[in-house]
Amino acid sequence: MFPDFITYLDDEKSSFEGTRAALNFQGRSIPVRNNIARFTPDMNYSVGNFSKLRERHATLQMDSLNGTNERERTILERTGWAPEFFKGKTILECGCGAGPDTEILRKFGARVMAVDIAGVDTAKDNLGEDENVNFVQASIMDLPFKKKSFDIVWCHRVIQHTPDPIATLDHILQFVKEDGAVFVQSYARTPVQMLRWKYALRPVTKRMNPEKLYNTIKAYGPFAFKLTNAIHKIPGGKYFNFFCVPFLNYRHAARFDGMTDAQMLEYGIHDTFDALSPAYDKPISARKMKALAARHLKSPVEIEEQHTITLMRTKP
């Protein structure tokens, strides 16, 4: 936990109760367990799917444990920022998951306020107790912090999983300092994206019992992994896989070099469940992201729309 954690809270009078098992915040008593303040209840819309991924694949995406530099590479490519840019900055990480970004941001020398609505204990297990990392169980639709208090607001692969992504983006952008930086990634609202198998299947799969859905994907995963590898070799096969086969196989993506086939299969099961199970998956248009950036940010910002993702990032 940050030694100065409570100074970030939107209540000048907030304080820990005697044994630090609770926090007084805006007239409420917020439970603190495992040194994590819990501003939201343990049960929420994210528990059935994202918590399950945390439990089953706790360390899969952690560069320090999976033998790749996939996250570090992705972060540097998507932000365009140099590792030195992060040094000494305090980052509000919105939706940290199991902590794969958190560990890279820490490695680059940042202090990270890592927030998630579910599965935060797994992230804490992955990163350990650290005075430069502060985990918080809260919703990024209702953050307990003072506005304009972070050097960087960071939100990677999360915003589309909230019930109202525009309102969520509008909310989180208020927490960056006037001269601060922002990195937000959203699924893109492009025809290429919206025509994929995922959006045809989700009306059914998001309503399925998460355990049943997970077991189904796990059962067909090994066959789908082999099949998609074979189809990939046929001319045009990668496009067929992309649009038609409900299994995410990244075997041929350079950033996963270093992973074994067994790890890639696990990745495929993880990400296919991640695609089909969330209660919400609402890509935002680049136009709306631009409008929100213009409303909140003083620093020059660019919006880059790719086929499947849109990136919002300030220029250093």
In the complex, the residues that contact ligand SAM under the rule CB under 6 A are: 46, 50, 61, 95-97, 100-101, 115-119, 139-141, 156-158, 161-162, 274
For ligand SAM, the closer of residues 298 and 308 by Cβ is 308
Residue 11 CB, nearest approach to ligand SAM (Å):
20
Least Cβ distance, residue 140 to ligand SAM (angstroms): 4
Question: Phi/psi class of residue 67: alpha, beta or left (left: φ > 0; alpha: ψ in -120 to 50)?
Answer: left
CA distance 150 to 177: 6
Sign of the CA dihedral with 213 first, then 219, 223, and 225 last: positive
Nearer to ligand SAM (CB atom), residue 227 or residue 280: 280
In sequence order, what E strands does 17-159 have? Answer: 22-25, 28-33, 36-38, 90-94, 111-116, 133-137, 150-156
Closest distance of CB 230 from ligand SAM, Å: 28
Shortest reach from residue 44's CB to ligand SAM, in Å: 8
Query: Rg of the Cα trace of the chain?
Result: 19
Cα within 13 Å of Cα(236), Cβ side = 2
Residue 118 vs 127, nearer CB to ligand SAM: 118
Nearer to ligand SAM, 47 or 227 (CB): 47
Q: How far is the CB of 123 from ligand SAM (least distance, A)?
A: 8
The least distance separating ligand SAM from the CB of residue 46, rounded to whole angstroms, comes to: 4
Burial 185-195 (b: 16+ CB within 10 A, else e): bbbbbbeebee
261 CB-side CA count, 13 A: 8
Sequence-distant (≥ 6) Cβ neighbours of residue 112 within 8 angstroms: 90, 91, 93, 96, 102, 105, 106, 132, 133, 134
Output 217 or 238, the one with its CB closest to ligand SAM. 217
CB of 41 to ligand SAM, least distance (A): 12
Query: 118 vs 292, which CB is nearer to ligand SAM?
Result: 118
Whichever of 70 and 181 has its CB closer to ligand SAM, that residue is 70
Q: Which residue is nearest to ligand SAM (CB)?
A: 97
* The two structure tokens encoding residue 198: 């995922």
CB of 157 to ligand SAM, least distance (A): 4
Token pair in block for residue 150:
């972070």
∠ CA 137-140-144, rounded to 5°? 65
Return the H-helix or E-strand segment holding 71.
Answer: helix 70-79
Considering the complex, state which of residue 157 and residue 255 has its C-beta at the smaller distance from ligand SAM. 157
Residues 113, 91 contacting (CB under 8 angstroms): yes
Residue with tokens 């189904």: 216
